A and B are shown apart, each in its own frame.
Chain A
Amino acid sequence: MNEESVFFSRVLTELTLSFHIIYATIGVGVPLMIMIAQWVGIKKNDEHYILLARRWARGFVITVAVGVVTGTAIGMQLSLLWPNFMELAGNIIALPLFMETFAFFFEAIFLGIYLYTWDRFENQKKHLLLLIPVAIGASFSAVFITMVNAFMNAPQGFDIVNGELVNISPLLAMFNPAMPTKVAHVVVTAYMTSAFVLAAIAAFRLLKGSNHIYHKKALFLTMKVGLVFSIATAIIGDFSGKYLAEYQPEKLAAAEWHFETEESAPLILYGILDDGEVKYAIEIPFALSILAHFNPTAEVIGLDQFPEDETPPLYIHYLFDIMVTIGMSMVALSGLYWLGKILKWSFVNSRWYRWLIVLGGPASILAIEAGWWLAEVGRQPWILRGIMRVEDAATTSPHVDIMLILFAGLYLVLGVGSIVVLSRMFRKNPVEQEIEDRHAEKGGDML
């Protein structure tokens, strides 16, 4: 085996996916947010919400573009870097991958139509209808691709007899045990993250001097939506833990530093690992048994049950902590904000609270990254759990290192480019200006 190719293939895959997932998450969640804003705008006959939808849509085009090109890159890289894996996967799990392209297609077509038909319809609702296929297409891309990833964690739907694949059932492979929790968690976190990213932008505008009611409406709407989805995230995350306990106990055990199989297992939060000893951690009695089995005294399998070379790296504990901490903080942050607005607590309008909301946007993206790293690194050493190891899947081509450098340069250009373009786009055309222009245009008949 060519160790260097394996190593660089891993780094390149990690890099591309970690970059793509930022834009993909926004791509999945933002159409829903646009839809909600436009709907509220039509319902309340409030042009601020309509303008909100319109401005979000404008920014969305930029993130979609980067999502599309990096997605194309990862799609092809899977075959270029992991040819042996894709040969096997092609036989069993190609169906959702194939269906995903239809979801993209559907989304791409209607996005083109939606973007170029503002004000073309008398009835705003018709225009809103065009957005529904966009949102469905985006969410289903995530559903289908996550099914593929779920299959990597809990492969089923085939047998291997004498090295030959037999009894293949594409549907069984698609609907594997990892699928329900994984798909639900991924989709819901995408909605949650998009809501908090948009909330962060609104809060930032309010902090930077604009006191326009437009931004206040945007903030309240996005925080409310974010609250709903962050609660859903935590609940489904809990189910993901139960899935792991049942089907991938080594991942859960490594994430929780749960070394010995035992009953009434405590949950370890934070802390560091010093020579195999856990220090400075918070121990919550019975909590791990509850997370794993809904039962405070249930037995939880520990790492002692697995051979050394099939144990995932233990640093995934930190990733788990990051994800859960951010998840819980966001529930608290948006919950307090919502309560505060209703009960007229003044601190939710203070500068420091708005700064926390600004922080919530990048933090949610960080949680997405941590979650994926947890899920993917926690599957190591397997690429297909129990069936194919990562080092057996990689390409034998000796040129992966140069490609890594080229792609790293590309992502740098795309990342910086998208940020520059987005900020220039909105700075040049601030919302106050746009509201005025529209009034001049329409003679103020909208309100």
Chain B
Amino acid sequence: MTLEIIGIFVLWTFLFGYLVVASIDFGAGFFNAYSLLTGRQRILTNIIQRYLSPVWEVTNVFLVFFFVGIIGFFPKTAFYYGTTLLVPASIALILLAIRGSYYAFETYGSRGHKGYSFMYGLAGLFIPAALSIVLTISEGGFVHMINDSPTLDYEALFTSPLTWSIVVLSLSSVLYISSVFLTWYANKAGDIDATRLMRKYALIWALPTIITAGGIMVELRSHNPDHYENMLNIWWAFALSLLLFIGTVWLLWSKRSYGLAFVLLGGQFLIAFFAYGFAHLPYLLYPHLTIYDSFTNEAMALALIVAFIAGLALLIPSLYLLLRLFLFNKDYVRGKKEDNHA
């Protein structure tokens, strides 16, 4: 394995981590707002707050890790993506900021009014939409070099069906991942009403997720034939992912082993995400930038990898502790322990 591959592998892994934790977070916010609208708030709020409160800051760090790491391993991305993404990334940032801070204001400060919950829920859908633009751009065709500086063609971007399918996919997978997780969590908490509701949402969102995912492959065929070709070469990975998807839906349908259902879902996204990324290689921005011509120098790459390993040695036990205390602790999940918040 070359250093370039190790670098992109590390970053892609963290992006995957962000995808899963953030989806749960964004989706939960949306369901909370939605149930407020339909008068079923009491059912979900407890469950959602119990899970989210101790971990919300951790979610954000996954994202920071990704964009700091990519500048470290592939400094040229700063030039290409930094210049082109000013507007979409700034919008995502502002939404993230409003959402993150109001979450804290609401949870730790005062009960605010409903308006915030709606804003909070909606922002959680716009953020993945705005962030998913990056994936679209990386497929090529939207960035042109004008006077040696990369420029984003907004018209082409917003009129392309590819853009909108990726946006739809990001939204439906957020809701799907989140509802499957919450089904399991609610079940663990012994909350029958919430389990039933979340299971219903999970089944509703399963279909659009898999349909748009398939649709994107078809669109790539004309948009980026290289990428499409590479994906076909590893068709078996996508097939495996599909099998796992069917497994998840089947378990949910037959009201069995929600924990296993979530694990299968994780596997489905993991495999599809890595297969997609692998097929995209070597391009970071098709066809301008590859992982090879944007890679940092060897000394920095080694230093980053050493720092990364040392960092993981520190993080994995701490993350384990966090999960054990709040996710796998029956008393905490069921709300039996008294309120131990500061």
Contact = CB atoms under 8 A, between A and B. Distances in A.
A109 B322 contact: yes
Find the residue from B55, B87, B337 having the highest chain A CB count within 10 A.
B87
Interface in B104-158: 104-105, 108-110, 149
Given A90-B78, A396-B149, A410 B97 contact: yes
A106 B315 CA distance: 7
A62 B342 contact: no
Interface in A230-247: none
B71 A86 contact: yes
Interface in A35-82: 54, 57-58, 61-62, 64-66, 68-73, 75-77, 79-82
A395 interface: yes
A98 B304 contact: yes
Given A399-B87, A410-B94, A424 B79 contact: no
A108 interface: yes
Nearest to B318: A109
A112 B342 contact: no
Contacts, number: 229
Contacts of A115: 54, 341-342
Interface stretch (A192-200, A301-309, A347-355, A415-423): A415-423
A401 to B, nearest CB: 11
B153 to A, nearest CB: 13
Interface in B290-318: 296-297, 299-300, 303-304, 307-308, 311, 314-315, 318
A61 B337 CA distance: 22
Contact of B90 (A66, A87, A105, A403): A403
Interface in A71-114: 71-73, 75-77, 79-84, 86-92, 94-95, 97-102, 104-106, 108-114
A64 B72 CA distance: 26
A171 B321 CA distance: 32
Given A102-B314, A112-B54, A72 B60 contact: yes
Given A69-B97, A86-B71, A428-B110, A400 B296 contact: no
Contacts of B103: 65
A169 interface: yes
Nearest to B65: A101
B63 interface: yes
Given A95-B303, A115-B342, A120-B340, A84 B79 contact: yes
B69 A101 contact: yes
Interface in A152-186: 165, 168-171
Given A94-B75, A112-B58, A406 B90 contact: yes
19 contacts: A65-B101, A69-B60, A69-B96, A70-B97, A83-B83, A94-B71, A95-B303, A95-B307, A102-B314, A102-B315, A112-B55, A112-B322, A113-B322, A115-B342, A116-B325, A406-B94, A414-B97, A421-B110, A424-B110
Interface of A: 54, 57-58, 61-62, 64-66, 68-73, 75-77, 79-84, 86-92, 94-95, 97-102, 104-106, 108-120, 133, 165, 168-171, 395-397, 399-400, 403, 406-407, 410, 413-414, 417-418, 421-422, 424-425, 428
